[in-house]
Amino acid sequence: MRESFQMREGDMEEEDRLRDALKFANACGALTVTERGAIPALPSREAVLNAMLKLVA
């Protein structure tokens, strides 16, 4: 039987970090499929962050 879930100190910060990582990975994947190839298509960190900023604006 599964025990009931209890929030621990730091869980919210960990969840926020996970959400940020998933958003970054999603933007990276979206940019990657716009180019040919596998490794050559991977965007730079700067390109991913710029794309994420454009989505928010």
Predicted local confidence at residue 2, as pLDDT: 61
Which residue range is the domain that position 48 belongs to? Answer: 14-56
As a residue count, the chain comes to 57
Give pLDDT tens digits for 1-57. 566 767 787 788 899 999 999 999 999 999 999 999 989 999 999 999 999 999 876
The conformation of residue 29, written as its DSSP 8-state character, comes to H
Domain count, the chain: 1
- Residue 7 lies inside a defined structural domain of this protein: no
pTM of the complete model: 0.75
In a domain, 9, yes or no: no
| 43 assigned to some structural domain | yes
Among residues 56, 50, 57, 2, the alpha carbon closest in space to that of 28 is found at 50
Asked if 48 contacts 28 with a C-beta cutoff of 8 angstroms, the reply is yes
Q: Within a domain: residue 6? A: no
- Judge whether 5 lies within some domain: no
Q: What's residue 48's pLDDT? A: 98
